[in-house]
Structure 1
Amino acid sequence: MTARTASIVRKTNETDISVEVNLDGTGQYEIETGIGFFDHMLEQLSRHSLIDVKLSCKGDLHIDQHHTVEDCGIALGDAIHKALGEKRGIRRYGDALSPMDEALTRVALDISGRPFTVWKVSIPQARLGEMDTELFPHWFHSFAGSVGMTLHIEQLSGENSHHIIESCFKGLARALRTATEIDQRKADSVPSTKGVLGG
């Protein structure tokens, strides 16, 4: 099987990002965005999806965190999209129920080439560590758009902001692991009656 790896460099006046991914990895990561809690969440995504991720971002954090978070979502999504290639053999769909103590999140996704995000999550705190929590739905939207997938995230329970967000990232990771895995029964086929997946 051809290695499903990709590298992306994204440089603008706001951010300078490099990303490397291996879809068939073991969940190894090297992540540095300058935002501690954000790094922690991206590490969870890598570890639980088994996608190896190297991501370095130097952003204009002296302004705020918006550009860093958005552009990391775009760049990481672009790298996964590139590594998927024609998407031959992937399972395409993935879903997970992700509990973390009192928090429970349901995540479902379809790597369809039709970007769409549904976010039904309420985060009580405005900040976690040094991160503005209002940026999380924006990250998920940017990431899903760049991968080219439909993504639904729904909070079923939860009171602690850290638990809620972490259950979202872990749920995404588990669903992404399933969706990007190769189905050996159809390893050479694109999982669509159209014969192609858009994007």
Structure 2
Amino acid sequence: MKRKSTLSRSTTETEISLSLNLDGSGIAQINTGVGFFDHMLTLFTKHGKFDLTIDAHGDEADNHHAIEDIGILLGKAFYDALGDKAGINRYAFQFTPMDEALCRTCVDISGRSYLVFDVPLTREFIGDFETEMLEEFFIAFTSNSKMTLHVASLYGKNNHHIVEGIFKSLGRTLKDACSIAAGNTEIPSTKGIIE
């Protein structure tokens, strides 16, 4: 079973192509036009052991459109690559430290989109990344992956460390939740289906 997805999205605001391999080795080729976001998605890919290629071009308004649309497409790619979800662990969580910051991510690949986001940040920008876009990215991702995701900064002072901890944590959490135990073909739901 090849758990891969290649998608593209073209609007009047953005042009994005994306390729995802859930069973990769952590290879990232990321070009979003937002340097800090490229760094975060590269960390996410490395720690999730996915292979991820993103090439995105957005309008000049700000980085809202590109970041949100990448969240939409990445969510769709996970949903597509997971197929019928047979054999996956479904649930996973991680506590991830980044220097003085501690972050937690918890996921349920449930077929139900829900986001709990508890990440107080104190800066408007980290590099060229608008910090309010962090939540917008996760809203777009969970809505289109049909996952439940809880993201929390438990404590920390440095906004860069907090956001970096979140992306590292999410990579590891999704790696665990998407993993298939050898020989397992069971749908992890009493319903017998995860839509």
TM exceeds 0.5?
Answer: yes
1:84 aligns to what?
A: 82
Q: How does 1:15-164 map to 2 (within 5 A)?
A: 15-60=14-59, 62-164=60-162
TM-score, normalised relative to structure 2: 0.98
3-state SS of 2:6 partner: strand
| AA aligned opposite 1:188 | T
2:189 is the alignment partner of 1:189 = no
3-state SS of 1:195 partner: coil
Unpaired runs of at least 5, structure 1: none
For 2:33 and 2:153, locate their aligned partners in 1 and report how far apart those are by CA, in whole Å: 28
Q: Which of residues 164, 167, 170 in structure 1 aligns to 2:165? A: 167
Compute the displacement of 1:68 (Å): 0.3
Q: CA RMSD in A?
A: 0.8
Compute the displacement of 1:140 (Å): 1.1
Percent identity, aligned pairs only, is: 44
State how many pairs are aligned: 195
Q: Deviations over 1:76-109 (max 9, x none)?
A: 1111110000011110011000100000011101
For 1:6 and 1:63, locate their aligned partners in 2 and report how far apart those are by CA, in whole Å: 29
Unpaired runs of at least 5, structure 2: none
Runs of 4 or more above 2 Å deviation: none
